[in-house]
Amino acid sequence: MRLGIDVGGTNTDVVLLEGTTIRATCKSPTTPDITSGIRDGIEKLLSTSSTRDVDAVVIGTTHFINAVTQAKHLARTASIRLATPPQTLMPLTDWPEPLAAACNAGTYVVRGGTQFDGRPLHDLDEPTLREIAQEIRRHGTRHIAISGTFSPLDPAAEERTAQILLEEIPEASSTVSHEIGRIGLLGRENAAILNESLRPLAGSVASAFTDILDGLDLSAPIFITGNDGTLMTLGQVEKYPIFAIGSGPTNSMRGAAALCGLAAHDAAVVIDIGGTTTDIGLLRAGFTRESTVSVDLGGVRSNFRMPDVASLAIGGGSIVDVSTGLVGPASVGYRLTSDALVFGGSTLTFTDIAVRAGFAQIGDVDAVRNVPRQLVERALAYVRDKVNALIEQTKMTDAQTVISVVGGGAPLIAPLIAGATEVPTEPGSANAVGAAMAMAGGEVDRIESLAGTGRDDVLIRARVDARDRAVAAGADPATVRIIDEEDIPLSHLPGGTAIRVRVRAVGDMQLKGALL
């Protein structure tokens, strides 16, 4: 059995899953420090369960996205770019000032880098690099992000830079951008800087999770869910925390696929309604569609793997303006059970509106009987228009698409959604179920030349490599399958024979013998 945990802005959900069968669930308020809320949730669930025989604990956490959006708990990081100096746009250009101040420990450009076809742009200027390393060391900086032009094609320059930095600053930690992002220097560089800035926090989070299980006398291995719905070991998260920064929506989408049997559908829209936000995404073959454009993290454009999920600041805890009927963006969050009218509080929330409208029987119904009907109608119309407009933007075609509504707030908003065809009996468990059912995965994203070879041969090699990476991540080879692939001609590049190839593979995690 697996213990699945998902931390939301309002609640922390825990589910005990045997195969695809839910054995027990519980919901507890998310705490400001997150970790104690996870401990409380596990203790609460285990106290109601007849078994403690858990094969794995899988956690989807908001530690990392909170750190970026709040510009807190981040390590100051030096950024080294391998390119042609001088550069017009230096590292951290256009970052929000609070986030830049929290992360910036100096920016440097060193002659080096790679051309579009993998050939060196310049020989790496090692003497200058060693001088920069000594300057970084004098400043007391111990975190460094390294990015080079077209480094995903040939990472040699970045790897040599990391080696030199280790020689000059043995105690330093570094992130190389070719392991983080895709083609596109600025977005990949931004992702590398954020990743390195998050690494000390990731170490603390990993230790805290281990301590929680030790304190509860659970010996099961711990995994963290990644942005793409696959599993990460604690060691992987400590090295690549950026890959776990947006797993919350993915967990809900994957959980909806399991609870509603959506995997067989070609496409399905999933709406996850929480206490603070509503997330809407498209599932294909049971997996979230991946974003093909740069993603925004705390105002920083990055280009690493993230789900293509749109969000509205509307949820069960959203505060309703009593004069206009507008809902959100402010929310009472985890204080819903103390601040909402139906729970004896003094703040009008959308939960109160839904109860007044008869959508749900929650708390003290009499507490909202005096809410004006006109105000209720305005609030409902506002939410109906916002959510349905975003659904139409998410759908791939105008044809009939399966629409699934999940999340703790599903009963509050589902009646407002046109065409909602799938609402599971336990919609509030979807996020934790998705975490528990996460799989091991591997991805290939690179530029290839068709000169002297064919498109089919290039795709075959990419599929093999993606499968191998999934197995290396712990997938059972017998279950690995390709879930997404594309090849895009890059006719604008010299030679006219270049294509970008992306292939994703997933498989069931081998808990016995996996790299834990």
Place of tokens 């920016």: 107
CB atoms within 10 A of CB 299: 15
Q: Is the peptide bond before 329 cis (omega within 30 degrees of 0)?
A: yes
| Closest C-alpha among 144, 73, 79, 158 to residue 113 | 158
Contact 338, 368 (CB under 8 A): no
Q: How far apart are CA 357 and CA 363, in angstroms?
A: 14
Give the single-character DSSP code of 288: E
pLDDT mean for each 10 residues of the chain (516 residues): 81 83 82 83 82 83 81 94 85 91 94 79 92 96 94 87 96 94 87 96 91 87 87 91 85 80 70 83 76 76 79 87 89 87 94 93 92 94 90 70 81 82 72 85 82 86 93 87 81 71 85 46
What strand order describes the sheet that includes 173-176?
104-111, 77-83, 143-148, 173-176
pLDDT in the model for residue 495: 66
- Cross-strand bridge partners of residue 278: 273, 312
pLDDT in the model for residue 275: 80
| Closest C-alpha among 136, 401, 446 to residue 282 | 401
Q: How far apart are CA 403 and CA 270, in angstroms?
A: 6
Q: Half-sphere exposure (CA, 13 Å, Cβ side) for 109?
A: 13
Q: How far apart are CA 147 and CA 152, in angstroms?
A: 10
Q: Is 277 exposed, middle or buried (0-12, 13-18, 19+ CB in 10 A)?
A: buried
List helix spans (H) across 306-450: 336-339, 350-357, 373-394, 410-413, 430-436
CA Rg value for the chain: 24
Contact 1, 55 (CB under 8 A): yes
Q: How far apart are CA 160 and CA 166, in angstroms?
A: 10
Contact 29, 334 (CB under 8 A): yes
CA-based torsion, 185, 188, 192, 197: positive or negative: positive
Q: What is the 3-state secondary structure (H, E, C) of 303-340?
A: CCCCECEEEECCCCCEEECCCCCCEEEEECHHHHHHHE
* CA-angle at 388, arms to 249 and 294, nearest 5°: 45
Q: Is 192 exposed, middle or buried (0-12, 13-18, 19+ CB in 10 A)?
A: buried
Q: List Cβ neighbours of 35 (8 Å cut-off, separation of 6 or more).
A: 205, 208, 209, 212
Give the single-character DSSP code of 72: -
Gap between the terminal Cα atoms of the chain: 17
CB atoms within 10 A of CB 123: 9
Tokens of 424: 């599971």
CATH topology of domain 76-194: Rossmann fold (3.40.50)
E strands present in 177-230: 222-225
pLDDT in the model for residue 138: 95
